[in-house]
Amino acid sequence: MPELPEVEVSRQGLLPYLPGQSIVGAIVRTPRLRHEIPVGLDLRLAGLRVDAIVRRGKYLLFDCASARGGGWLLLHLGMSGSLRLVPRDTPAQKHDHVDLLFRRTVLRLRDPRRFGALLWHEGPHVEEHPALAALGIEPLSDGFNGDWLHAATRGRRMPIKPLLMDSHLVVGIGNIYAAESLFRAGISPLRAACRISQERYRVLAGAIRATLEAAIAAGGSTVRDYVHSDGGAGCFQLSCVVYDRRGEPCTTCSRPVRVVRQGGRSTFYCPACQR
């Protein structure tokens, strides 16, 4: 599933091309993805200018609110979605469900499993949209630090790894990035969140930031169908030190990496290096 780094890489890939451009229209080839696609999206978007593209959690937000009747287009890539910029005359393939048409290019949403979402929020205050209102803190924001994490986890007996993946607490930290961040911080994914000290949370917050920034620099992680806007693939998974390395020697202590199931997901960790 595309997480924060993959979505951010897609956003950065679109920035040189779309802000300042007006939408000519839209082609919708399916009535719904995870949710119904807004009826009349083509007419609603035609003539609106994309002033900015921002990210909130795993949503890409296209700011088209400057004109009367404008608003924000919210796009979520789901489990297998990807965006590509293609020439106007490029034929659509089987899973190419939505095209946003610009004068010289097309932004094409491909989503084989159709778990993505394309939503519309009328008016300027996109943070009020129900899909965004309950999201937690951004882990790359100034407000995210060890002191915040320590305060937010008091009384939380849940193991720290699934808690980090809870988007109501922190957005965009998926399975790969939670596992790698905890290894960097030397914290066991099995440890109860309320039993981690403030100082160790400061280390963890720095590890999360460093892991996400490294993943963005590497173009994200290629898992199943993920690609970014130029059709290229990320390579962060090639540098993972615990994720998907069950039984292989830890890069620090050479003991075998273990795997357990937490919340239906595989958790990889080194029992010697992570306490």
CB 144 within 8 Å of CB 170? yes
Sheet holding 71-76, edge to edge: 52-56, 59-64, 71-76, 117-122
| Known active-site residue 3 | yes
CB 103 within 8 Å of CB 22? yes
Enumerate residues 6+ apart whose C-beta is below 8 A from 17.
Answer: 85, 105
Task: Please provide the distance, in angstroms rounded to a whole number, between the alpha carbons at the two ends of the chain.
Answer: 28
The predicted model gives 7-30 an average pLDDT of 95
pTM: 0.91
pLDDT over 70 at 100, yes or no: yes
Q: Which of 34, 191, 258, 265 is catalytic?
A: 265
The predicted model gives 198-221 an average pLDDT of 92
Q: Which of 3, 6, 8, 180 is catalytic?
A: 3
Q: Which of 11, 56, 58, 245 is catalytic?
A: 58
Choice between 230 and 143, residue whose per-residue pLDDT is larger: 143
Query: How far apart, in whole angstroms, are the C-alpha atoms of residue 15 and residue 141?
Result: 20
| Known active-site residue 58 | yes
Domains delineated in the chain: 4-133 (3.20.190.10), 146-269 (1.10.8.50)
The predicted model gives 145-167 an average pLDDT of 97
Structure tokens, 273: 């290096």
Q: Which of 2, 5, 112, 139 is catalytic?
A: 2
Report pLDDT for 237. 64
Mean pLDDT (the chain, rounded): 92
Q: Each residue of 65-84: pLDDT tens digit? A: 998 889 999 999 999 899 99
Alpha carbon 100 to its chain centroid, in Å, reads 21
The predicted model gives 114-140 an average pLDDT of 96
| Known active-site residue 127 | no
pLDDT over 80 at 47, yes or no: yes
| Known active-site residue 94 | no
pLDDT over 50 at 222, yes or no: no
